[in-house]
Structure 1
Amino acid sequence: MLNLGKFARCGLFIGLAFGVPGCATDALKQTSASPDTAWSPDGTGAGDFSVPPNPEVARLPAGIQSGKPYGLPALIDLAQRSHPSTRIAWEQARQSALAVGMVEATFLPILTANVIGGRQDIVTPLPNLEGGTDYVSTTANGVAPNLALQWLIFDFGQRQAWRQAAQQNAYAANVNFNGTHQALIYNVTRSYYMYGAQKSSLAIAQQALANSRRIQDAAEARYANGTGTSIEVAQAKQLAAQSNLRLVQAQDGLRDAYQDLLGAVGISPRSRIEIASSANAPLPSPRALPTDALIKTALARRPDVLASYAGMKATEANVRAANADFLPKVYVSAVAGTNNTSLQTGNLPSIGGATTASGVLVGVSIPVYDGGIREARKRQAKSTTAAAAASFEQTRNAAMREIIVASDTLRSALESYAAAVALTDASQLTYDAAFDAYQNGIGTVTDATAAESGLLDARLARSDAHAASLIAASTLAFTLGAMTSSASPARATAP
């Protein structure tokens, strides 16, 4: 007599064994059939390469609506509260701190509670007296709970090396967190001064348009009195049209600068806030090239240099951990548990029993052969350390170069501003004289328009040089590691 149930179960297991791999390959139907066929959620691949919309990602964040003017310190404070980069850096620092805790936890024993239970049915064929076969079923079941302890008590400093590496990585993450705030302060400061430059350009374009219309009015008045010509009127109208085009371009530039500033602050582009003017911001005094002492002070506090150095130290600790892989490890283990079992055969009464066991073991694990895995890890750790050392040297050299270049840029910007101020004063005198001469009939419209264009260029050059000086001063403060609070830009540009 065949046991059909047993064969049915075996057939089910065999079917599953051959059928499961097909499920993995069927997952390819969830993507495109070929590189030039569009993907679609229904798997048909029909249509263009658009994607189905997801309303959950289309929610618009509420923008800030405020009529009060935001100066640079207020914008920096708002950015430090609102910009996502600060929250990202903060979470990364917390993750690194938790990594230190996880490594320190390896110094403690591991205690686990386990419960093993099961049931086993055994069918044994036995010949009977009639020449046939009888089947005797035996059922065994039991539960074995136990409590196990594992404790690595000595590993030649491997865990200590891991802890030092984690601590260095956590230090680097914390330094990067502060560095993120420094970079944020600098970006907001730079965008603020660029917005101020565009705002000044708009005011200059408006004044230039007013001057052009004065010349146009004068040309039309002279033409009406019979002392002018239609060519002069046409030239004056052309100048006014050019000034109007510059005004439109300046308005567009101001809108772009406003969005750049909102992006630097990290708030919604739908925000409507008033920005205080930076036209009267004081400029710093010219400075000589940074001394070696100043550069050393800057390198000792720059976040990128400190983080790179900590990363190099972390790789050195990983080398020590890799060397410890070649040494023995001493561990202690203990177990305490019980075993409750029962056995029943056929129609006989069941037999049960309960046992307890406990023990403590001390062992030594000595690595002998692993196919070169440990050696490869050690070489990999040494290679990573060499790369980290080179990266640190590169970061330090780049920091020194940034400090020197920023100092040179500030000096050049201040010199350009002084030259632009002198040019603006001279251009203003030229324009006033040319306009008065043309208005009184002793000058030409060509001289007046040329003087007006020269005055416009001079004013724009002065505005650009003023903003460039403010940005250069902020850049120098940032490269020196001194852009640390909302008051830093004010200190950087103080005379």
Structure 2
Amino acid sequence: MSVKPSTWLLIAAAGVISVISPTVHAFDPLRAEQSIPVNAADDMVPANSTCEFGPLSNPLTLEDAVERALCRNPKTREAWADVKGQAAAVGVARAAYLPTITGNWQGVRDSSVTDITAHPALSSNYSATVRSEGVSLNWLLYDFGGREAALKNASSLLEAAQATQNATLQSTFAMVAKDYYAAQAAHAALDAAREIEVMTRHSATASQAKVDNGVAPITDALQAQSQDEQALLNLAKAQSDAQSTIGTLAVDMGYDPSAVVDLPDVTDTVIPAKTFTESLARLIDEVKRTHPSVVAAQAQYDAAVAKLAQTRAQGLPSISLVGKYNRDNQPQSLGLGLPSYPSTGHDAYIGIQVSIPLFEGFGKSYQIDQARAVAERQQDTLEETRLKVGLDVWNSYYALEAASESAAHSKSLLTLAQQAYTAAEHRYNVGVGNILELLNTQTTLANAKERRIQMLTDWDNARIDLASKLGRLDMSSISTLGAR
């Protein structure tokens, strides 16, 4: 992109006239910061552009958790700050097309005394307040594409920062969703642990009653009590896990661990056979071109190439327009020993300056080699990123398929385990079954409940993870992907 200096003068003039901008920054005469998002969440939370929130929803919804995390999480705010910094760097690169004007003012009290021995007529003594004002101009007119390359480098790095911010938002979204579902699963597991403890306590009470009536051996009561003690241990562990996961979720949103009070229950749902109708090959081909991390890597490679061109141009001649005007009131004297008289003077010049680098100790040659090596490395990083995102989609795709199948099996397993426990409990109560049969079905039912809860949340995680790996996550994903 070649930009004439006069064009940048017009841009600057327009910016000075319209310094009040409706965007983030009020003063942006070179229009370098127009692309800065208004908040750390960019356009991921369009309904709350100010990122201001009231009290947490109770129970906390996934949408509320994600919005707060995208706005408040330190990682998203760091990525936002990087975009702002790089946008300012674009402004610096554009400013290089404009002239630099420097004003100077100096005011001094000058006192000069000269005593010449035996020649008083040649001696002098005067005092004066001397002022000088000046202004100088330097305007680079041509530098063999150095400024153009610098602007391309800054613009590419801005594009990389924006893509990195998008990737950070995607990963933060997925992280919060994962921690949200983990907290839901932990609280559901806590509820299940409470139910299992009540169930084992009832079994222990029933077996002890049979022992007291002489219709069952003491070993039945001891085994049932052992099962109940194990259920109490599991309950204590479930309580700890629930508190840990809910604290993690609160920190994801930028709050203290105690901020979240309650979450909605995990409810059963119908697991669709297919979540994404597109073929895996097409998904991988698309993500290699459009994923934010690939876009960022491509932009960083473009920036490295531009930096190489900029480094080469720095070793070539440059042509500048230079000018200066200066005036002062320095007193003047006609000669030694003669009095000084007040005076004013000024001088000015304007011209063309040609700067030709002749010898820099071979440093420029090595700088070019260094810039070339950086560009080669960024090219390899780009290819590595493309391979990585393709593999991520591959793994997430099959993880989702496995989660869908496992969720379906877990529902059948829970139904069978519940039926087996009901039958074993009835058989034991009427004196047909034994305590081992009852305890075994209790253990199977407890495991089936935990597995069902875990499979449901794993399925939600797998869908969110695949959408994140594809770079498609936004707030609409919460409803379309089935948040509970």
| TM-score exceeds 0.5 | yes
Give % identity: 25
Rate the CA distance shift 1:65–1:102 in 2: closer, same or farther, 3 A: closer
2:162 aligned with 1:157, yes or no?
A: no
Q: How far 1:139 sits from its partner (Å)?
A: 6.2
What residue is the counterpart of 2:238 in the other structure? 250
* One-letter identity of the residue aligned with 1:443: G
The gaps in structure 2 that reach 5 residues or longer are 1-52
2:324 aligned with 1:335, yes or no?
A: yes
Q: How far 1:303 sits from its partner (Å)?
A: 1.0
What residue is the counterpart of 1:421 in the other structure? 411
| Partner Cα separation in structure 2 for residue 160 and residue 346 of structure 1 | 56
What residue is the counterpart of 1:77 in the other structure? 67
What residue is the counterpart of 1:384 in the other structure? 374
2:457 aligned with 1:442, yes or no?
A: no
| Partner Cα separation in structure 2 for residue 277 and residue 482 of structure 1 | 27
What residue is the counterpart of 1:271 in the other structure? 259
Q: Output one character per residue of 1:250-306: Cα deviation in whole Å (capped at 9) or x when no partner.
A: 111111110111122222323144322333355342469943322222233211110
What residue is the counterpart of 2:344 in the other structure? 354
| Partner Cα separation in structure 1 for residue 123 and residue 461 of structure 2 | 94
| Partner Cα separation in structure 2 for residue 411 and residue 156 of structure 1 | 56
Q: Is the 8 A contact 1:140 1:343 kept in 2?
A: no
Q: Output one character per residue of 1:49-69: Cα deviation in whole Å (capped at 9) or x when no partner.
A: xxxxxxxxxxxxxx9755632
Q: How far 1:421 sits from its partner (Å)?
A: 2.4
1:317 to 292, 296, 306: 306
Q: Output one character per residue of 1:189-226: Cα deviation in whole Å (capped at 9) or x when no partner.
A: 11111112112211221121121012112102211221
What residue is the counterpart of 2:292 in the other structure? 303
Q: How far 1:351 sits from its partner (Å)?
A: 2.5
Q: Output one character per residue of 1:334-375: Cα deviation in whole Å (capped at 9) or x when no partner.
A: 111112112689997432322111111101111110011211
Rate the CA distance shift 1:262–1:236 in 2: closer, same or farther, 3 A: same
Q: Secondary structure at the match of 1:408?
A: helix
Rate the CA distance shift 1:312–1:284 in 2: closer, same or farther, 3 A: farther
| Partner Cα separation in structure 2 for residue 167 and residue 458 of structure 1 | 55
What residue is the counterpart of 1:50 in the other structure? none
Q: Is the 8 A contact 1:64 1:268 kept in 2?
A: no
Aligned CA-pair RMSD = 2.7
2:131 aligned with 1:143, yes or no?
A: yes
Matches within 5 A, 1:223-262: 223-262=211-250
What residue is the counterpart of 2:457 in the other structure? 467
Q: Is the 8 A contact 1:403 1:479 kept in 2?
A: yes
Q: Is the 8 A contact 2:140 2:321 kept in 1?
A: yes
Q: Is the 8 A contact 1:290 1:407 kept in 2?
A: no
Q: Secondary structure at the match of 2:323?
A: strand
Q: How far 1:141 sits from its partner (Å)?
A: 6.5
Q: Is the 8 A contact 2:292 2:471 kept in 1?
A: yes
- For normalisation by structure 1, the TM-score amounts to 0.80
Rate the CA distance shift 1:227–1:255 in 2: closer, same or farther, 3 A: same
| Partner Cα separation in structure 1 for residue 369 and residue 479 of structure 2 | 50
1:177 to 153, 158, 165: 165
Q: Output one character per residue of 1:100-128: Cα deviation in whole Å (capped at 9) or x when no partner.
A: 11111110111111124556666667443
2:187 aligned with 1:196, yes or no?
A: no
Rate the CA distance shift 1:67–1:377 in 2: closer, same or farther, 3 A: closer
| Partner Cα separation in structure 1 for residue 350 and residue 170 of structure 2 | 56
Q: Output one character per residue of 1:236-263: Cα deviation in whole Å (capped at 9) or x when no partner.
A: 1111111111111111111111011112
| Partner Cα separation in structure 1 for residue 278 and residue 328 of structure 2 | 81
| Partner Cα separation in structure 2 for residue 164 and residue 196 of structure 1 | 48
* One-letter identity of the residue aligned with 2:94: E
Q: Secondary structure at the match of 1:275?
A: coil
2:97 aligned with 1:107, yes or no?
A: yes
Aligned residue pairs, count: 428
Q: Is the 8 A contact 1:141 1:343 kept in 2?
A: no
Q: Which moved more, 1:267-276 or 1:441-450?
A: 267-276
Q: Secondary structure at the match of 2:321?
A: strand
| Partner Cα separation in structure 1 for residue 81 and residue 281 of structure 2 | 36
Q: Secondary structure at the match of 2:329?
A: strand
2:448 aligned with 1:451, yes or no?
A: no
* One-letter identity of the residue aligned with 2:463: A
Rate the CA distance shift 1:326–1:332 in 2: closer, same or farther, 3 A: same
Higher strand share: 1
Rate the CA distance shift 1:363–1:348 in 2: closer, same or farther, 3 A: closer
Rate the CA distance shift 1:232–1:72 in 2: closer, same or farther, 3 A: same
Q: Which moved more, 1:119-128 or 1:292-301?
A: 119-128
The gaps in structure 1 that reach 5 residues or longer are 1-62
Q: Is the 8 A contact 2:297 2:382 kept in 1?
A: yes
